[in-house]
Structure 1
Amino acid sequence: MSKFDEIRYFYDHEVNEALHSIADDPMMRALMNFTFPTTDDQVWKDQFKEVFSIRDFQTHFVAHTIRQILAKSSDGLTTSGFDRLDKNTPYLFISNHRDIVLDTSLLNLVLLESGLIMTASAIGDNLVRKRFLNVLAKLNRNFLVQRGLSLRDQLRSSQTMSEYIDQQLHEENRSVWIAQREGRTKNGNDATQQGVLKMLAMAAGDQSLTDYFKSLKIVPISISYEYDPTDSLKMPQLLAQHRDEEYIKGKNEDFTTMLSGILGQKKRIHLHAGDVIDTELDDIAATIENKNKQLQAIAQIIDRSIIENYKLWPTKFIAYDLIHHTDKYASQYTEQEKQLFIRRLEMRIDPSDAVSKEYFLSMYANPLINKLKSEENFSE
């Protein structure tokens, strides 16, 4: 047994058997009927017999599913920055986190179509408790982040995950995706949790922190959705925080959120790959000695890249103007776009509830507000 068995995705020799174990699951039938709506079930079941690697599964099935999702629930995906990446180099992609499934799925579609190394991707084990979802995740090269552990077990789990990510990057020549924080950003404020970087640093061994982080080849990824299909689903948690109440998830809340994120309307989507964090780490090594402060500085570099390269769709400017009762950014959107956004707001929350309205608008406006702050701080 490998020490990674609890969290790892499938080895290629396990793929065919794993795929057949869920081929007759009603959820697989629904997924394949969505992906290939005019194809008889027996056709894709027969094709499964020829799948002997994760790459086979992702190329011949998953990529088609993601393209169908884009066709049915978006106005298209655009990208920038990926042409600066090397096709033979594994990278550690750290991104803002808006959607449970699509953030990493869209990235891997872009990597596949660009001829770049696809990722092993972190996913919370709380999201894949159903057997079908667990098998499907591992067929998609997802490794498990163990949630709800005691402090002692959490430390052990973090060490294992750090070593696994290190192994993927440095021994398997496999890119890795992790979110900049635990859980999705609910309020539009994209900020890297220092705990994520501390976990990564646990595998550094005798290397200095900055030298080790250079070896990871960190690429910040900015994921920008014009509309968040789960915007209204995030409101109960935001309102509970506002009232200083504990928020307890409903029984099938994660699954409902996953489906809404996949099938809900997103309009336009943009993914940007930032520059590899490299020389900035030399500057940190030369000017900061304290390890925690070094991690804080690295987090700030990731944040700046994600925020400054975030694509500001018209919805961000509309929300800003509505919050501030201004038309400062009226040139950035049309009256039709504004009315569509207002109609969405009125359909998704009670607009007479001032607190809900402010949180909903802030969710959309905060990427713009944060970009303005970042530009102001960087120019000082």
Structure 2
Amino acid sequence: MSKFDEIRSFHDCEVNEAVQSIIRHPMMKALMNFTFPDIDEKILSEKLKNTHSVYDFQKNFISHTIRKILETSSQGLTTSGFDKLDKNTSYLFVSNHRDIVLDTSLLNLVLLDKGYIMTSSAIGDNLVHQNFLHILAKLNRNFLVQRGLSLREKLKSSQLMSEYIFQLLTCENRSVWIAQREGRTKDGKDATQQGVLKMLAMASGNASLPEFFKNLRIVPLSISYEYDPTDVLKMPQLLAKQNDEVYVKSKDEDFNTMMSGVLGQKKRIHLHAGNIINEELNDIAVNLDNKNKQLQAIAQIIDDSVIDNYKLWPTNYIAYDLLNKTEQFSEKYTDKEKQIFERRLEMRINIDDETLRNGFLSMYANPVVSKMKLLPESF
């Protein structure tokens, strides 16, 4: 027994048994039919039965699923920044978070295609209550972030996860993906929670924070979707927050959100791998000796990179102009693009509800606002 057994993904020696346990599951059959519509079920079943590693499962099956998702629900995926990375080195990708499933899946597809080390990725255990989803997550090298714990349990869980991430990066040479905050960004404002950095630092021992974080080789990751297929699903939670109300998720809300994110139209998608933040960590080590200030500075470095490298789409500029009743960015989009966006707005919400309309538009406009604050000279 390993102390990480409760949260870790499958070891390769466990993969074949896990795969065989879900081959006949209706959701697995649906997944394979979607991915390989022209291949006979018996052939796929035999191929699955001969799968003995996480890498083979991801390469031979899941990567094709992600390609199919891109083909059917997007206008393509573009990337930048990855050429600065070393193919034999593991990295901690600290990422803005838009989609439950696709953020990490798209990153791994990029890493696979470019010959880099794929990631082990954090996922909330609230998202994998169903046994099938739990097994599928572990087959995709997901490790579990335990939710809904008491304060004492949360502290223990954070320590365990910190040690596991550190072991993956430094002992197993495995890259790791983690969101910069707990849960997806609902309002388009990407910001790193210091709690995430505090969790990572729990494995630092006697090392200084800057030195410890240098060992993690942090790469800020910017993910942007031209259209968020779950935009309207985020509105109830945003409105509850705005009204200082406690938001309670419905029973199947997480699953429905996952499916909407996977199958809904996203148009264009872009991933940018930022620079490793080691030089900035050297500056922090020299200029700051207070741990809280160091954590604030590290969070700011990640935020600045995510915002700076976030690709703005016509939808972002259109939403900004509609929200602010201006034509400031009219050169960034066409009349047709604006009409399509306004049509989407009308179809997804009651545009006569000003609060709802402004919340929806702000979700798309806030990345523009963030970039204007960071880089005012560019606007």
TM-score if structure 1 supplies the norm length?
0.99
Q: Distance in 1 between matches of 2:59 and 2:194?
A: 35
**Could you tell me which residue of structure 1 aligns to residue 236 of structure 2?**
236
**Could you tell me which residue of structure 1 aligns to residue 263 of structure 2?**
263
**Could you tell me which residue of structure 1 aligns to residue 119 of structure 2?**
119
The alignment status of 1:361 with 2:353, answered yes or no, reads no
1:296-335 superposed matches below 5 A: 296-335=296-335
Q: Distance in 2 between matches of 1:377 and 1:18?
A: 54
Q: Distance in 2 between matches of 1:140 and 1:299?
A: 28
Q: Distance in 1 between matches of 2:198 and 2:246?
A: 27
Q: Deviation string for 1:95-136 (max 9, x for gaps)?
A: 000000000000000000010000000000000000000000
**Could you tell me which residue of structure 1 aligns to residue 183 of structure 2?**
183
Q: Distance in 2 between matches of 1:323 and 1:48?
A: 50
**Could you tell me which residue of structure 1 aligns to residue 225 of structure 2?**
225
1:159-238 superposed matches below 5 A: 159-238=159-238
1:1-380 superposed matches below 5 A: 1-376=1-376
Counterpart code for 2:372: L
Q: Distance in 1 between matches of 2:122 and 2:370?
A: 26
Q: Deviation string for 1:287-333 (max 9, x for gaps)?
A: 11110110000000000000010000000000000011111100000
Partner SS, residue 375 of structure 2: helix
Q: Distance in 1 between matches of 2:60 and 2:378?
A: 45
Q: Deviation string for 1:317-355 (max 9, x for gaps)?
A: 000000111111000000000000000000000000000
Cα deviation for residue 367 of structure 1 reads 0.4
Contact between 2:372 and 2:378, CA under 8 Å: does it hold in 1?
no
Counterpart code for 2:347: M
Q: Deviation string for 1:212-257 (max 9, x for gaps)?
A: 0001000000000000000000000011111111100000000000
Q: Deviation string for 1:191-213 (max 9, x for gaps)?
A: 00000000000001111110000
Structure 2 unaligned spans of 5+: none
Q: Deviation string for 1:130-160 (max 9, x for gaps)?
A: 0000000000000000000000000000000
Counterpart code for 2:46: D
Q: Distance in 1 between matches of 2:244 and 2:280?
A: 39
Q: Distance in 1 between matches of 2:362 and 2:190?
A: 13
Q: What RMSD, in angstroms, separates the aligned Cα atoms of the two structures?
A: 1.1
Contact between 2:119 and 2:177, CA under 8 Å: does it hold in 1?
yes
Cα deviation for residue 375 of structure 1 reads 1.2
Q: Distance in 2 between matches of 1:137 and 1:378?
A: 41
Spell out structure 1 runs of 4+ moving beyond 2 A: 376-379
Q: Distance in 2 between matches of 1:244 and 1:144?
A: 30
Counterpart code for 1:353: D
User: Number of aligned pairs?
Assistant: 379
TM-score if structure 2 supplies the norm length?
0.99
Q: Distance in 2 between matches of 1:166 and 1:288?
A: 24
Query: % of aligned pairs identical?
Result: 68
Q: Distance in 1 between matches of 2:198 and 2:39?
A: 48
Q: Distance in 2 between matches of 1:203 and 1:239?
A: 37
Cα deviation for residue 43 of structure 1 reads 1.1
Contact between 2:194 and 2:295, CA under 8 Å: does it hold in 1?
yes
Counterpart code for 1:163: E
Q: Distance in 1 between matches of 2:292 and 2:24?
A: 50
Partner SS, residue 285 of structure 1: helix
Q: Distance in 2 between matches of 1:319 and 1:348?
A: 14
Structure 1 unaligned spans of 5+: none
Cα deviation for residue 70 of structure 1 reads 0.1
Counterpart code for 1:145: V
Cα deviation for residue 376 of structure 1 reads 3.5
Partner SS, residue 192 of structure 1: coil
Q: Distance in 2 between matches of 1:163 and 1:268?
A: 37
Cα deviation for residue 377 of structure 1 reads 9.5
